[in-house]
Structure 1
Amino acid sequence: MRVAAVLSRGAAPSEMVDAELDDPRSDEVIVRIEAAGVCHTDLVTRQGLGERPAVLGHEGCGIVEHLGPAATGLAAGDRVVVSFASCGGCAQCRAGLPGYCAWATALNGSGRRIDSSPTIRVRGEPVFASFFGQSSFATAALTAARSCVPVGDIPPEVAAPLGCGFLTGAGAVLKVLRPRHGDRLLVLGAGAVGSAAALTALSEDVEVVVAEPVRARRALLERCGAAAVVSLDEPMPPVTHVLDTTGRPELIVRALALLQPCGVLVLVGLGPAEVSLDLRSLMMRGLRIRGCVEGDADPAALIPHLIQRYRRGRLPLDRLVTTYPLADLDRAVADQRSGLTTKPVLLPGG
């Protein structure tokens, strides 16, 4: 199947190319992409691949067009969010924690199917694709039916980031931190993940403080009901919960000092592998530190729940989104890095 795709190659400008998308196998589907969120993980992967050509994108939303004979639970014409890939059969998947799938690395980050077969060719040559089981910076994506979550008539630009970024932030709050009325949550970083987490906590009637240096992002969340500070150097009351989206060791250490006894800090930001911590303080104050991948969520369960909150006006995720034409990936990335937008979403029809 011929598609238009955004080809990335290291620091070189992205380019729109004609590409050949493989046919779906028995448990796979082809989704015509209507919107695709741009995530920090796309940028990290692009940098890590160096000059290797790649079609990235892992927050796709679109219409199911072709189904393999064993693709169940879907029909042609369904609008779906395409989330991360998982095997469905390992112990973690069976426990409802597909983010920790035993085959997660091979399925999401190898650039090919798990059997090493390519899914996208450009000019006749295989490129790094099948990113998070999809590669949605294109007019169509090939993915496992298992990765698709039907979403109905929600605007695709709002639905797309539920595949990863919004799912991670919201899931970290609802599934891991679990703050309640009377608690105070500190969110480090107000990018897409942190902002989605802040909005989710506000919908739980939790007091939220966001630490974010970009003025526009602070202002947006303040309008939604959160308090905001430029940095942790500002005076701040003790907090019961912390979500770190930055991965910055110095912020993590400072945030731990702000936690009340028996408080919890959850890590979703990738940073240095080592952080120096005062273990005696952790023990004596009963603090907990917890890692979190993809919000500890099963997308098939949490995405419909978040959509219900959005439709009822409790979770205004649309306020975080700015749309761009598919060909403008580099402009979207630049605007995200500068803070002009919180969550850029690419529209193939834009």
Structure 2
Amino acid sequence: MKIQAAVARNHDAPLSLEEVELDEPRDNEILVRVVATGVCHTDMAVIAGQLPTPLPVVLGHEGAGVVEKVGAQVTKVQPGDHVVMTIDSCGQCPACLHNDVTYCHNQFALNFEAHRPDGSQAIRADSGPLSSMFFGQSSFATQAICHERNAVKVTKDVDLSLLGPLGCGIQTGAGTVMNALAVTPGSSIAVFGAGSVGLSGVMGAVVQGATTIIAVDMVQSRLDMARELGATHTIKADEGDAVEKIMEITGYGLAYAFDTTGAPKVIRQAVESLAPKGTCAIVGASGPEAMIELNETHFMSGGRRLIGVVEGESTPDLFIPTLIALWQQGRFPFDKLVSFFSFDQINEAIAASENGTAIKPILRMA
């Protein structure tokens, strides 16, 4: 079928909207009419050449839409169902069999190499095949093919155009706090980086009942948003020593720290802010050569912990509906992070995310 897709043909260049051809879904695939899709930092990392996803490629991995067709082997959804598309997994490796789907042993191949497991592509242009199936979906398009494992069925009483970012960025932030760190009531946490992932972590900390919630960032408007979402304290990272300020607030350090920046210097600050037995979670990386340096005595003698987290260690089929329910109850107001753009404004949406004028851009397909 003919669809419209945003194609990344060159690094550090605008995406081009093109008419391309999408395969019919195979027996184990699902065809989704994309209603809206979020713009994520990972998409921008591919465009910038920071990830080895081959170009030209159709990106997009926070898609939400309506099922149009299902393959013969698909039983989870049927045409007309509403779905959020999320990270893909194989379902067969030891991690998947233990329900640790975000740590699927085939995660990189299935999500970043942008092709089917057999190496084939689902999208073609006049110039030839395009890398597709990015995160098992390539949702920068009016239609997308995904799989049963990365399609999360959601209720039809919620505006689909809001829900795409729950599949990645918002799931990552909230899930890191609620699942991986499992923040306890009455505890303290600092979130380093108040973008969409960090602010989702702030909201997750509120849900968990943390009573000291500190947001650290260099952009005042984002710190203001953190306050609105429930942060009890904010720290302007470029105005003094953040570690000293955290110690002043807590007296002895944090039970939990959450770094969303991927910057080694910031990660070190986050670890240095921990109280004995405190845990720091990281979800970003500055690149394949980035190294983290810690003071060994401080780290070891306090029994501190540093963990990496992917997609909030969530089980998407359970966690995404949970976040929707919390939003409906007024306890997880992620809609405050959102700015809408039309699909043909995709390059403007990317620029708005990069320059900080939009926290979480969402593209609406007409």
Range class of TM-score, shorter chain = over 0.9
2:162 matches 1:162: no
Larger deviation, residues 252-261 vs 76-85: 252-261
Contact kept in structure 1, 2:54 and 2:131, CA below 8 Å: no
Contact kept in structure 2, 1:62 and 1:81, CA below 8 Å: yes
Of residues 270, 275, 278, the one that matches 2:285 is 270
Larger deviation, residues 196-205 vs 150-159: 150-159
Of residues 192, 205, 208, the one that matches 1:188 is 192
Give the distance between the partners of 2:54 and 2:13, measured in 1 at CA: 8
Give the distance between the partners of 2:299 and 2:202, measured in 1 at CA: 25
1:255 is matched with 270
Distance 1:315 1:50, change over 3 A: closer
| 2:97 alignment partner AA | R
What is the DSSP-based 3-state SS (H/G/I as helix, E as strand, rest coil) of the residue aligned with 2:344? helix
Aligned positions of 1:229-248 closer than 5 A: 229-231=235-237, 233-234=241-242, 235-236=245-246, 237=249, 238-248=253-263
Give a deviation string over 1:157-189, Cα, whole Å, max 9, x none: 321001111111111011111112221110010
What is the DSSP-based 3-state SS (H/G/I as helix, E as strand, rest coil) of the residue aligned with 2:190? strand
Of residues 86, 91, 94, the one that matches 1:91 is 94
Give a deviation string over 1:308-330, Cα, whole Å, max 9, x none: 11111100010011110111111
What is the DSSP-based 3-state SS (H/G/I as helix, E as strand, rest coil) of the residue aligned with 1:12? coil
Q: How many residues align?
A: 349
2:342 matches 1:336: no
Contact kept in structure 1, 2:86 and 2:135, CA below 8 Å: yes
Contact kept in structure 2, 1:96 and 1:297, CA below 8 Å: no
Larger deviation, residues 315-324 vs 86-95: 86-95
- Extract unaligned runs of 5+ from structure 1: none
2:19 is matched with 18
Contact kept in structure 1, 2:89 and 2:102, CA below 8 Å: yes
Of residues 83, 108, 124, the one that matches 1:105 is 108
1:174 is matched with 178
Larger deviation, residues 232-241 vs 318-327: 232-241
Contact kept in structure 2, 1:184 and 1:208, CA below 8 Å: yes
Aligned positions of 1:62-73 closer than 5 A: 62-73=65-76
Give the distance between the partners of 1:319 and 1:264, measured in 2 at CA: 28
| 1:42 alignment partner AA | D
Shift of 1:124: 5.0
Give the distance between the partners of 1:137 and 1:75, measured in 2 at CA: 22
Give a deviation string over 1:163-219, Cα, whole Å, max 9, x none: 111111111011111112221110010111111111111122212111111121111
Contact kept in structure 2, 1:336 and 1:343, CA below 8 Å: yes
Larger deviation, residues 148-157 vs 296-305: 148-157
Give a deviation string over 1:287-307, Cα, whole Å, max 9, x none: 001111111111111111111
TM-score (ref. length: structure 2): 0.92
- Extract unaligned runs of 5+ from structure 2: none
2:223 is matched with 218
Give the distance between the partners of 2:195 and 2:69, measured in 1 at CA: 34
TM-score (ref. length: structure 1): 0.96
Shift of 1:50: 9.0
| 1:75 alignment partner AA | Q
Give the distance between the partners of 1:214 and 1:201, measured in 2 at CA: 21
Contact kept in structure 2, 1:86 and 1:103, CA below 8 Å: yes
1:119 is matched with 122
Larger deviation, residues 316-325 vs 48-57: 48-57
Give the distance between the partners of 2:198 and 2:230, measured in 1 at CA: 14
What is the DSSP-based 3-state SS (H/G/I as helix, E as strand, rest coil) of the residue aligned with 1:162? helix
Give the distance between the partners of 1:94 and 1:233, measured in 2 at CA: 44
Give the distance between the partners of 1:151 and 1:298, measured in 2 at CA: 14
Of residues 190, 204, 207, the one that matches 1:203 is 207
| 1:33 alignment partner AA | V
2:304 matches 1:287: yes
Give the distance between the partners of 2:4 and 2:329, measured in 1 at CA: 36
2:4 is matched with 4
| 1:34 alignment partner AA | V
Q: CA RMSD in A?
A: 1.4
Contact kept in structure 2, 1:60 and 1:163, CA below 8 Å: yes
What is the DSSP-based 3-state SS (H/G/I as helix, E as strand, rest coil) of the residue aligned with 1:13? coil
Identity across aligned pairs (percent)?
37
Give the distance between the partners of 1:2 and 1:324, measured in 2 at CA: 23
| 2:281 alignment partner AA | V
2:82 is matched with 79
Shift of 1:74: 0.5
What is the DSSP-based 3-state SS (H/G/I as helix, E as strand, rest coil) of the residue aligned with 2:14? strand
